[in-house]
């Protein structure tokens, strides 16, 4: 009996290793010389990892479409694509993309992108294996994601893995109850030299920022909004392994030398994880309309609250870097403005309240529960 169970265990473990490695092969980072992979890996369906052969995708109903890829710089690329629909593939596992909260596509070159719910609900997602009549062989993976009428940043080349997050498992949809002022928060962090094109700027590790200011409050997804209106979610892992450049061109910009360029996010206005949001005051001046209160020019805090969707409360607490804090009513919070003083410090100003309420070196604002 004992030897049987041992043998059984051995077989089981060997099978598990086999299953792992066979799926891992598809997940392996691209090597231009390696042979073409003939499968992709899907996680989040009934089993942890499911392998789907490219041949199976070619057996789906073939759709053919003229599409235009629009890049972030506004460049337009017309092409004719053929492939199968993700929706039909998911149907084989009794799933529909319309009920998923996030689908993440990962490529052999490390590129990854989250497809948001609105896109999943409204668009066809084509698993393309032919472009302009020719079969695809990008980076040893023959599939490209095409989402007609959505920007090219979603059109992942060399598709290797699909990660599926269902509605009920969704994280990161907590209410925001704390806004941390990015400009103040980075002052105490280590700033490294960061080479960016022809200049050397300063950058912080995102991990340093998160561990020192949101350590107990980090979810699997980070939501980023840029000053041009772009909204994007990123996995915690990818986010934490990268940098935010805090000075010079395009800053604050999320980037890393290990990350494909298309994954960088320029001109970050704010990003949120769990119930905490980090706000760039420098970018706020470019994004929000300027307000004037008793001849002080700044940004209306109400506009920030609306944009970030901060939870409503009766009392708001404004806290400085040195711990100095004031509590104000929602009415006062709705009317206050944030600005930068001559020392480049972030200050909150409440019209009609005594001078002692004006918090200098503002670090965060919290909704009192
Ligand atoms: N694998 C992979 N796919 C990718 C990218 C990438 O870096 N790697 N960049 C994306 C971005 S940001 C854009 S704009 C388009 C560019 O597509 P093109 O090279 O066909 O112009 O591909 C998208 N798909
Ligand atoms: Mo792009």
Spacing, Cα 335 to ligand 1 middle (Å): 44
Counting ligand 1 atoms within 8 A of each CB, the residue from 156, 258, 261 with the most, and so the one to mutate, is 156
Query: SS3 of 121, please?
Result: helix
* Positive or negative torsion for Cα 54, 55, 57, 58: positive
Ligand 1, residue 159: give the atom nearest the CA. Answer: 1
Reported as type and span, the H/E element at residue 333 is helix 330-335
Q: Are 122 and 142 part of one and the same domain?
A: yes
pLDDT for 138 equals: 55
Sign of CA dihedral 110, 224, 274, 181: positive
**Domain-located, residue 26:** no
Q: Is residue 4 part of a domain?
A: no
Alpha carbon distances (Å) from 2 to 5, 8, 13: 5, 10, 16
> Would you say 368 and 315 are in contact if contact means Cβ atoms under 8 Å apart?
yes
Q: Is residue 162 domain-shared with residue 225, that is, in the same domain?
A: no
At which of 143, 167, 191 does a domain end? 167
In the chain (369 residues long), the average pLDDT of successive 10-residue segments reads 47 47 46 65 88 95 98 94 98 94 93 95 97 81 95 96 75 81 98 97 97 83 94 94 98 97 97 96 97 94 97 97 97 97 97 93 96
Give the model's pLDDT for residue 24: 54
Looking at residue 23, what is its pLDDT? 60
Distance CA 339, CA 337 (A): 7
Contact 69 CB / ligand 1 (< 6 Å) = yes
Any atom of ligand 1 within 6 Å of the Cβ of 27? no
Both 209 and 358 in a single domain?
yes
Q: Return the ligand number nearest the Cα of 72.
A: 2
Gyration radius (Cα) of the chain, Å: 24
Distance CA 223, CA 156 (A): 20
Distance from the CA of 154 to the center of ligand 1, in angstroms?
A: 8
Identify which of 154, 138, 146, 129 has the alpha carbon closest to the alpha carbon of residue 54.
Answer: 129
Element (H or E) spanning 188, and its range?
A: none
- 254-266 pLDDT, tens per residue? 999 999 999 999 9
Same domain, 266 and 345: yes
Does the Cβ of 157 fall within 6 Å of ligand 1? Answer: yes
Look at ligand 1, atom 2, and give the residue with the nearest C-alpha: 157
Pair 283, 315 in one domain: yes
Answer whether residue 324 is part of any domain: yes
Residue of 29, 72, 139, 155 to test ligand 1 pocket, by largest number of atoms within 8 Å of CB: 155
Name which residue sits closest to atom 4 of ligand 1, judged by CA. Answer: 156
Let me know whether 288 and 204 are in one domain.
yes
Cα separation, 188 vs 211, in Å, equals 13
Indicate which residue's Cα is closest to atom 10 of ligand 1: 153
> Has residue 14 been placed in a domain?
no
Same domain, 239 and 325: yes
- Residue 302 carries which DSSP code? H
- Domain containing 140 equals 31-167
Residue 187: Cβ within 10 Å count: 14
Q: What is the CATH number of the domain that holds 110?
A: 3.90.420.10
Final residue of a domain: which of 138, 167, 196?
167
Residue 27 Cα to ligand 1 middle (Å): 18
Question: Does 268 sit in the ligand 1 pocket, CB within 6 Å?
Answer: no
Number of independent structural domains in the chain: 2
**235 and 350 fall within a common domain:** yes
pTM of the entire predicted model:
0.88
Tell me if 109 CB under 6 Å of ligand 1.
yes
In a domain, 328, yes or no: yes
Q: Whose Cα sits closest to atom 8 in ligand 1?
A: 111
What's the maximum distance between 2 C-alpha atoms anywhere in the chain?
87
- 3 state SS of 52: strand
How far does the centroid of ligand 1 lie from the alpha carbon of residue 262, in Å? 6
Please give the structure tokens belonging to residue 59: 């057996």
**pLDDT at residue 369, rounded to an integer:** 83
Q: In this predicted structure, what is the pLDDT of residue 161?
A: 96
Q: Ligand 2 centre and the CA of 71: distance in Å? A: 5
Spacing, Cα 155 to ligand 2 middle (Å) = 9
Interval 161-207: pLDDT, tens? 999 987 654 445 679 999 999 999 999 999 999 999 999 999 999 99
């Amino acid at each position: 009996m004992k030897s049987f169970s041992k043998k059984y265990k051995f077989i089981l473990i060997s099978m598990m290793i086999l299953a792992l490695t066979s799926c891992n092969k598809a997940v392996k980072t691209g090597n231009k010389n390696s042979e073409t992979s003939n499968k992709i890996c899907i996680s989040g369906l009934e089993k942890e990892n499911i392998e789907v052969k490219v041949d199976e995708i070619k057996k789906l109903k073939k759709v053919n479409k003229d599409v235009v890829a629009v890049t972030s710089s506004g460049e337009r690329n017309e092409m004719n694509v053929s492939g199968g629909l993700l929706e039909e593939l998911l149907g084989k596992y009794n799933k529909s993309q319309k009920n998923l909260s996030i689908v993440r596509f990962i490529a052999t070159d490390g590129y990854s992108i989250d497809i948001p719910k609105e896109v999943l609900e409204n668009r066809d997602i084509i698993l393309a294996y032919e472009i302009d009549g020719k079969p695809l062989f990008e980076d040893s993976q023959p599939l490209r994601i095409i989402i007609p009428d959505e920007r090219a940043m979603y059109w992942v080349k060399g598709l290797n893995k699909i990660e599926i997050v269902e509605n009920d498992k969704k994280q990161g949809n907590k209410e925001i109850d704390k806004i941390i002022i990015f400009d103040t928060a980075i002052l105490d962090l280590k700033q490294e030299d960061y080479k960016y094109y022809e200049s050397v700027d300063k950058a912080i590790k995102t991990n340093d920022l998160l561990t020192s200011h949101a350590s107990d409050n980090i979810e699997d997804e980070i939501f980023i909004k840029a000053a041009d209106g772009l909204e994007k979610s990123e996995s915690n892992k990818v986010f934490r392994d990268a940098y935010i450049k805090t000075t010079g061109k395009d800053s604050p910009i999320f980037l890393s030398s290990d990350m494909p360029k298309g994954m960088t996010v320029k001109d970050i206005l704010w990003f949120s994880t769990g119930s905490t949001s980090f706000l760039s005051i420098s970018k706020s001046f470019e994004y929000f309309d300027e307000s004037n209160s008793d001849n002080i020019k700044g940004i209306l805090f109400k506009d920030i609250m609306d944009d970030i969707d901060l939870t409503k409360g009766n009392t708001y607490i404004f806290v400085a870097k040195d711990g100095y804090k004031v509590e104000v009513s929602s009415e006062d919070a709705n009317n206050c403005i944030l600005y930068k003083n001559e020392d480049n410090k972030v200050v909150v100003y409440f019209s009609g309240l005594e001078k002692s309420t004006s918090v200098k070196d503002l670090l965060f604002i919290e909704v009192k529960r």
